[in-house]
Amino acid sequence: MSDTLAALLLGILEGLTEFLPISSTGHLLIAQHWLGARSDLFNIVIQAGAILAITLVFRERLWALATGLRERENRVYLGKIAAAFLVTALVGLPVRLLGWELPETVSPIAVALILGGIWIVFAERVAAGRPPSAKITWTVAILVGLAQVLAGIFPGTSRSGAAIFMAMLAGTGQRSAATEFVFLVGIPTMFAASGYALLEYFLKGSGAAGGGEAWGELALAFVAASATGFIAVRWLMGYIKQHSYTPFAVYRIALGVALLLWLPAGA
**Spatial contact of 186 and 250, defined as CB atoms under 8 Å apart:** no
Is 122 inside any structural domain? yes
Closest CA to 237 of 166, 162, 160: 160
Is 249 inside any structural domain? yes
Is 267 inside any structural domain? no
Is 126 inside any structural domain? yes
Tally of structural domains, the chain: 1
Is 189 inside any structural domain? yes
Q: Cα 95 vs. chain centroid, distance in angstroms?
A: 17
Is 181 inside any structural domain? yes
Give pTM, 2 decimals. Answer: 0.89
CA distances from 81 to 113, 143, 144, 145 (A): 27, 12, 9, 9
- To the nearest 10 degrees (0 to 180), the angle between helices 72-98 and 175-203 is 50
**Rg (alpha carbons) of the chain, rounded to whole number:** 18
Tell me the per-residue pLDDT of 141-167, one tens digit each, with 9 for 90 and over.
Answer: 999 999 999 888 888 888 899 999 999
- To the nearest 10 degrees (0 to 180), the angle between helices 175-203 and 59-67 is 90
Tell me the residue range of the domain where 172 lies: 3-262
Per-residue pLDDT of the chain (267 residues; tens, 9 = 90+): 688 999 999 999 999 998 899 988 778 878 887 888 888 778 878 888 888 999 999 999 999 999 999 999 999 999 999 999 999 999 988 887 776 666 667 788 889 999 999 999 999 999 888 888 999 999 999 999 999 998 888 888 888 999 999 999 999 989 999 999 999 999 998 888 888 877 877 777 655 444 567 889 999 999 999 999 999 999 999 999 889 999 999 999 999 999 888 765 555
**Spatial contact of 102 and 155, defined as CB atoms under 8 Å apart:** yes
Where do the H-state alpha helices sit in the chain?
A: 3-17, 24-35, 40-57, 59-67, 72-98, 106-128, 138-153, 159-169, 175-203, 215-239, 246-262
Is 191 inside any structural domain? yes
The SS3 assignment for 133 reads: coil
Is 255 inside any structural domain? yes
Tell me the per-residue pLDDT of 190-236, one tens digit each, with 9 for 90 and over.
Answer: 888 888 877 877 777 655 444 567 889 999 999 999 999 999 999 99
**Spatial contact of 86 and 145, defined as CB atoms under 8 Å apart:** yes
